[in-house]
Chain A
């Protein structure tokens, strides 16, 4: 086989893996948008916040140490314990549920029936707040996240492809784990929304707020539920991205990577988020591989958006979005 083709295959495989990572973030967006019609810009910052909290709890950092030191002149850093990964993850999930309850109490409750753009701006405000809070609570330095996920090149695929084509593909084992986790997550979410009582309530609210209210479904509970699930998805995304590239501010920018995925897949479709993620991930890696060297590289920042934009011109509701019917 020609080498160029092999490289392209490797690149597209890596693209698919990256796409799954994007889809993980996009999933959180879709859940909230479906259940409450809120375009939650804070999803990326939620992932950052979750990852920061996870690292902080795991390493026993003193929360708000920086502020306390600045006000009282003390010198606090760590409690001096190390939590095992799973315990820290469970505690962080609890924190995310608490955060969801607070968000519902303090923000969403007061903004019922406002225009979508107002809610969108509120989530941007929330993103600012959480970003500041995360830094104030746990410090702004780059942290290493290690919860025991495998990392480095996958030897198996390397030898397998070497025997097959005479060229070993480089695939990160972390990406494979992420793919498995994402698949499991989607399966679990789908099962949850299809077969459980609360899942049905969630779909009912997504369908029609008022009708759901009138048959006795508590809107507020469903919102807390959906924000908790989104917080959990953010935690998973935070763990994956944090293990890959360290926990730092740029983690929150993955939200921007997830937006074209959403456009492509449709704002209201969970499978759409996955398929969109795969298309975007593969498309941008291949474009960078073929066209990047000719036009100066770093095309990944915008290619996904332009791809989604061109696509939307032909199909305005995205791949799997609900058909848009407009009436006067």
Chain B
């Protein structure tokens, strides 16, 4: 009744090639924007910001980044944690070296640095494929974490080996540091996510995105019809790493405030983000959001139920949580290997016929 193409008459090319051709989708998009930017910042408090919203926004950026590489271009990467660390440390060095620079510029430049590193580690992808490549990206993960641990220049020779975000403001309001109000953290991350998601959406439906998908579906065939594998694969690595670097910078500067590389950006982080992408759905931007939301909410929920609801000791609850997360991932893969995005697609197909399915 609400979700259908019928009755929508496009009269110009601009109308015809818009991102959301169906009215219901457009309304949903605007509704999400209104809620995200118009309502949540006014009602958010510290708990919700730190436990749910800020991690969700940041992981969504990282998941979109990995989805570009793995879902759209078909190159499996397990180095996400390492690339996030690059973003975090680049952001830290920029923040401390140029105190006057706006924080948004710091974050974006950190992304650009990560893009460079990503291209470097993406070079082997021209020779190596499949699982060999996935394992090869682990080289990036371990090498980068080791590098940031061992070279004191990266953490400004601080005694603890940690990096701590200094206070930086935007329009006079603290965005990083200890005095940041919850809504400022939220809004800053939300704006960055909005800009990057918009960029990703338009990249993936344009020439670049189609080249990525051609390489994903069959790289030799793509090469024969004139897609250059070198530029295509490396551009996927660059864009993906840019997103992941920005996510790393935000994760450190806005969310954590202080970070130790092995703990914050270890291999567990790589797996977590890969899970988000897979559970959300490979090759779907909506999936990146859904997967991030699912895996941010699940531990919060389980913790509330097991520790506060049933009064179990925290260490036992942590182990049971691990079991439940593992089992849920398996169940999910069995029931819907194409992820939450596929459920959404099926729902939309149903909606088009509703309420007269025959």
Task: Say whether B124 contacts A129, CB under 8 Å.
Answer: no
Measured CA separation A7–B73 after assembly (Å): 48
**Complex contacts, A259 vs chain B, CB 8 Å:** 135, 138
Is A298 at the interface (CB under 8 A from chain B)?
yes
**Do A262 and B135 have beta carbons less than 8 Å apart?**
yes
Q: Tell whether A305 pairs with B138 under 8 Å between CB atoms, given A125-B333, A126-B326, A263-B132.
A: yes
Main secondary structure of the interface of A (DSSP, over half): helix
In the bound complex, residues from chain A placing their C-beta under 8 Å from that of B29 are none
**Is A70's CB under 8 angstroms from B312's CB?**
yes
Chain B residues numbered 305-358 whose CB sits less than 8 Å from any CB in chain A: 312-313, 315-316, 319-330, 333-334, 337
Structural contact, B132 and A316, CB atoms closer than 8 A: yes
Interface pair B333/A122, CB less than 8 Å apart: yes
B23 on interface, CB distance cutoff 8 Å: no
- Known contacts A124-B271, A316-B132, A328-B220; A129/B326 CB under 8 A: yes
The reply on B27 being an interface residue by CB < 8 A is: no
Task: Judge whether B128 and A118 touch: CB under 8 Å.
Answer: no
Chain B residue contacts of A306, Cβ below 8 A: 139, 143
For window 102-146 of B, CB contacts with A under 8 Å fall at 124, 127-132, 134-136, 138-139, 142-143, 145-146
With contacts defined as CB atoms under 8 Å apart, how many contacts are there between chain A and chain B in the complex?
Answer: 144
Tell me if A133 counts as interface (CB < 8 A to partner B).
yes
Check if B330 sits within 8 Å of A126, measured CB to CB.
Answer: yes
Assess whether A66 is interfacial by the CB under 8 Å rule: yes
Query: With the chains together, A128 CA to B139 CA distance in Å?
Result: 22
Q: Choose among B134, B218, B322, B330 the residue with the greatest number of A CB atoms under 10 Å from its CB.
A: B330
Closest B residue to A317 by beta carbon equals B132
Residue contact B325 to A128, C-beta cutoff 8 Å? yes
Cβ contacts under 8 Å, A114 to chain B: 333, 337
Cβ of A130 within 8 Å of any chain B Cβ, yes or no, is yes
The answer to whether B218 touches A312 (Cβ under 8 A) is: no
Please give me the 8 A-B residue pairs with the lowest Cβ-Cβ distance, nearest first.
Answer: A128-B326, A129-B326, A132-B322, A132-B323, A125-B329, A305-B139, A302-B142, A296-B150
> Residues of B with Cβ closer than 8 Å to A?
70, 76, 124, 127-132, 134-136, 138-139, 142-143, 145-146, 149-151, 218, 220-221, 224, 267, 271, 274-275, 278, 282, 312-313, 315-316, 319-330, 333-334, 337
Listed in ascending order, the chain A residues whose CB lies under 8 Å from chain B are 39, 66-67, 70, 106-107, 110-111, 114-118, 120-122, 124-133, 135-136, 140, 256, 259-260, 262-263, 267, 295-299, 301-302, 305-306, 308-309, 312-313, 316-318, 324, 326-328
